[in-house]
Amino acid sequence: MTDTANPLIRIAGLSKSFGDFVAVDDIHLDIGRSELFSILGGSGCGKSTLLRMLAGFETPSAGKVEIDGIDVTHLPPYERPVNMMFQSYAVFPHMNVEKNIAYGLRKDRVGKHEIARRVDDMLELVQLGDFRQRKTDQLSGGQLQRVALARALIKRPKVLLLDEPLAALDKKLRERTQFELMNIQDELGITFVVVTHDQEEAMTLSSRIAVMNEGRFLQVGEPKEIYEYPCNRFVANFIGTINTFEGTVASVDPDGISIQCEELGSTLRAVGDYAVAVGQAVGVAVRPEKIFISRSEPEDLYDARLRGIVDDQGYLGNLSLYRVRLESGKMIQVSSQNRRRSSKRFVEWDDEIWISWQPLSAVVLVD
């Protein structure tokens, strides 16, 4: 559980305008101690501007930032208990690994022995002991990223801000480095605030995620919460793949709600505490992995049951993906895990099939 009762960072009504353009719009957020918090959004949504305001590189147009109970809104970067790791890593190519890592402490005139001890600790933490004498232009992308991380951490900030920390790495290395980053964060207990446009990265790394669009936070929550209970259509479509159906609330009862979907010619059920009224237009969203495919009509009368034809299918090794054309013409995506090793496909192109899902798997989208 995240401890936000005693937050390390408190952001209140923070905004930033460039001329008439509002890049960050009235953000309120508490970040707990030792959290690995991600700000996730597409290009231009304002996430880097928000991070730069936390770092002190950008002056807010309105609002306040507190770190550990101290108002830092108007403090310069070097007076904040914060360090920032930039997209470009900003390591010095003419210095070796050791000197790069020691740089911040040297500048602060920390004693020689103290520097040596702390550099050793950092080299061990980021597992670069064997590379201490190497020039940084002789390192791989992943190693460079770890030098930058060590350089940012050696001054023991209370908060480390990371702007797209893994963007320069290829997929395999990025996945591995994600786990390294999590381990290091866990070991040091420093609060990390990560800006990323990569939803998989945010889901893997974070204790909590804020999904941002047009300068605003649309939803803040744990990865599972955001994936399973997206609060609106934007978040639902931004995170992972989802099928959405438009409809009208037909009835509301203690067990859930019924939604008449004209495009399916069917009524769907959803379970949950939704503040909706009969007659209201809503969306119903279902993730591909929550949908079952069967050859015969499913028996559970409470489940959504629709007929369709397999229009396309793809084999991804661990998963199979299906595009199913429903009788109404609507295309939907279904995924199923390949638990057994078999050369025979369960269903083929053009097979007539049934799809079904449980009411609990349906998410009602109001916005």
Q: How far is the CB of 141 from ligand ATP (least distance, A)?
A: 19
Asked if 20 interacts with ligand ATP (CB under 6 A), we say no
Spatial distance between the Cα atoms of 1 and 271, rounded to a whole number of angstroms? 25
Q: Would you count residue 247 as binding ligand ATP (CB under 6 A)?
A: no
198 close to 240: Cβ distance less than 8 angstroms: no
- Is residue 132 within 8 A of residue 58, CB to CB? The reply is no
- One of 7, 46, 221, 230 touching ligand ATP (CB under 6 A): 46
Phi, psi of 34 (to 5 degrees): 65, 20
Distance of CA 105 to the CA centre of its chain: 33
Residue at shortest CB range from ligand ATP: 48
C-alpha distances out from residue 106 to 100, 103, 113, 122, 137, Å: 10, 5, 11, 15, 21
How far from chain centre, in Å, is Cα 54? 19
By CB atoms closer than 10 A (0-12, 13-18, 19+), residue 185 is buried
The residue from 43, 318, 337, 342 that contacts ligand ATP (CB under 6 A) is: 43
What x/- string results for residues 276 through 305 when contact with ligand ATP is judged by CB under 6 A? ------------------------------
Q: Which stretch binds ligand ATP (CB under 6 A): 37-45, 88-96, 165-173, 299-307?
A: 37-45
| Pairwise CA distance, residues 147 & 135, whole Å | 11
* Site membership for ligand ATP, residue 235 (CB under 6 A): no
Which residues 258-277 are close enough to bind ligand ATP by CB under 6 A? Answer: none
User: Pick from 3, 6, 13, 18: which binds ligand ATP (CB under 6 A)?
Assistant: 18
Under the criterion CB under 6 A, does residue 44 sit at the interface with ligand ATP?
A: yes
208 is a contact residue toward ligand ATP (CB under 6 A): no
Task: Kindly state whether residue 56 participates in binding ligand ATP, applying the rule CB under 6 A.
Answer: no
Instruction: Name which position in 7, 9, 27, 49 contacts ligand ATP (CB under 6 A).
Output: 49
Q: Which of 134, 197, 233, 330 binds ligand ATP (CB under 6 A)?
A: 197
Q: Does 135 bind ligand ATP (CB under 6 A)?
A: no
Distance in angstroms (rounded) separating the CA atoms of residues 29 and 248: 34
**CB distance 162 to 193 below 8 Å:** yes
Half-sphere CA count of 203, side-chain side, radius 13 A: 11
Interface positions with ligand ATP (CB under 6 A): 18, 23, 41, 43-49, 197
